[in-house]
Amino acid sequence: MKRFIFAILFCLSTMCFAQFDNLTWQIRFDDTLMPENALAASTGTLLEETKPLAFQDGLVELDKIAGRKLHIYAHAVAQCTVTSEEECDYLAGMGVDWWFQCCVNGEVAKSTVENEPGNAAYPPSAENFLFPVHLKKGVNHIALFFERGNGDKWLAAFQLFRKLDPAADADKPFYAVPKLEVMPGRKPRKAYVNRIRKVLAQLADPQIGMHDYDSELARFRKEIDLLNDSDCQAVVICGDMMHRTTRESLTVFQKELARLTLPVFIVAGNHDVGQNSRELFQEFFGPTYYAADLPFEGYRLVVIDTNLWQTPIPQENEKMDAMILRELEAAAAAGKKVILAGHAPIFQEDEDEDEAYYNLPLEKRQWLKTLFGRYPVVAYLAGHSHTAFSVLWNGVLLSNAETTSAAFDKVNYGFRRLVFFGDSVYCNTIPVKE
């Protein structure tokens, strides 16, 4: 009889837990998703373009759900609904390769994206991070943000273990974990600032008016909206603002650019300073070669006017080359990494290819290669050719960005998101859809 009573009591105590064994999840994979998107999803806002997700014994391989091995720093948000028969606290557990945020009913229950390191254990398990979640009586919304690390598999773990007893569990360590406070009124995604990573947006050749003025202007406006709603911390535009540079056209461009809420650095393209428009460009945007600290620690941006190397101007070339050397030496002495930005790519396919409209003179290629080996240069950003590519050259990332005007290689319209993390550089395309 005692065994029978014990069994009944055990079933009653775990009844609420049993209904959470097989939750129905939906997940969206999208690098533009941020922890704030999970916060919104936990209020009942439905994600779009999702795939079904199921945790097996609390664990799932996200690459398999996505249908391919995703890159480091890939993002995803999953959501589900939970029906509770009473208002109560539950012990939740989570682990992921590498960062996560768990949100319940519009509140952050646990986050590692700002205040804590990523998962130290691999493979991760739901016991890596234990924390309480508050469930109300009735329908509850849970949403999870994931960011991929560099593991062979993108693994994630989540479980609701048991109902908590406020009296018996009050002194447990997981009750002492502070919740991440999300300041009211913050713009979407802006609450997420990873102190380890640095994120830079690279644009190239907006060149409004090249083929279809209205379409190109509309895509550039959409690009500004995406940038304002991204995790990028600054923007570099690698030349050719308008197809024809006049006072009227630059006024239009400057008006659109004024909507950008991020620091922006302008590179002079051949359509910007050709046709006797150099002085006009400088009137609107300032010098065509310069250097500046980026808004994240430890990086210096050096902007080059590659037009001077392709069509020299006496004395001006010498001044720019001296500035480049001076900045590289100062950055090395200060322990800073350097990102160079120009309009023309160093080369298209091979460093020894013939000199042409879409590359730099052989002499300057060799000079830059020597500098790359001597100074802490991590990337060279460019555009001009309307083709997108990435090449590792002498230890430096050569990044030719996507465009919103004419894409000669037929790739997506868009911009490039560059992530600088320790000694690594990662880039991916953020498409600008029609």
Residue 369 within a domain: yes
Q: Give kind and range of the element (H or E) at residue 21.
A: none
What CATH number is given to the structural domain containing 62?
2.60.120
Long-range contacts of 196-199 (CB under 8 A, 24+ apart): 196/421, 196/422, 197/73, 197/419, 197/420, 197/421, 198/233, 198/294, 198/296, 198/297, 198/298, 198/299, 198/419, 198/420, 198/421, 199/230, 199/231, 199/232, 199/233, 199/296, 199/417, 199/418, 199/419, 199/420
Parent domain of 311:
198-431
Report yes or no on 190 lying in a domain. no
Domain match, 172 and 204 both: no
Q: Are 183 and 377 within 8 A, CB to CB?
A: no
Tens of pLDDT along 326-385? Answer: 999 999 999 999 999 999 999 999 999 999 999 999 999 999 999 999 999 999 999 999
Tell me whether residue 184 is in a domain.
no
Q: What is the CATH number of the domain that holds 370?
A: 3.60.21.10
Same domain (yes/no): 216, 281:
yes
Q: Are residues 271 and 339 in the same domain?
A: yes
Co-location of 302 and 426 in the same domain: yes
Which pLDDT belongs to residue 171? Answer: 61
| Tens digits of residue pLDDT in 37-52 | 899 999 988 888 899 9
Does residue 188 belong to any structural domain of this protein?
Answer: no
Task: Using a pLDDT cut of 90, give the percent of the chain over it.
Answer: 55
Query: Quick one: average pLDDT of 4-13?
Result: 36
Please give the average per-residue pLDDT across 242-254, as a whole number.
Answer: 95
Compute CA distances 359 → 205, 342, 344, 383, whole Å: 15, 11, 6, 10
Q: Is residue 90 part of a domain?
A: yes
Angle ∠(243,289,293) on CA atoms, nearest 5: 115
Tell whether the model's pLDDT for residue 180 goes beyond 60. Answer: no
Average confidence (pLDDT) over 396-406: 94
- Residue 225 is encoded by which pair of tokens? 């909206």
In the three-class reduction of DSSP (H, G, I as helix; E, B as strand; rest coil), residue 399 is classed as strand
- Specify the higher pLDDT residue, 163 or 27: 27
> 232 and 172, same structural domain?
no
Domains in the chain: how many in total? 2
> Residue 273 is inside which H or E element, if any?
helix 270-273
- Tell me the pLDDT tens digit for each residue of 255-266: 999 999 999 999
* pLDDT for the residue numbered 113: 79
Tell me, yes or no, whether 185 lies in a domain: no
pLDDT band at 273 (very low <50, low <70, confident <90, very high): very high
pTM of the model: 0.65
C-alpha closest to that of 371 among 324, 315, 423: 324
- Whether residue 166 sits in one domain with residue 86: yes
Q: State whether 114 and 257 are in the same domain.
A: no
Report pLDDT digits (tens) over 192-208.
344 456 899 999 999 99
In a domain, 305, yes or no: yes
Q: Looking at 141, 176, 211, which one is the last position of a domain? A: 176
**How does DSSP classify residue 174?**
G
pLDDT band at residue 11 using 50, 70 and 90 as cut-offs = very low
- Let me know if residue 304 belongs to a domain: yes
Q: Are residues 233 and 347 in the same domain?
A: yes
**Bridge pairing between strands 198-203 and 234-237:** parallel
Mean pLDDT of 300-326: 96
User: Of all residues in the chain, what percent carry a pLDDT higher than 70?
Assistant: 86
- Of the candidates 200, 205, 223, 199, the one whose C-alpha atom is nearest the C-alpha of residue 401 is 205
According to the model, what pLDDT value does residue 327 have?
98
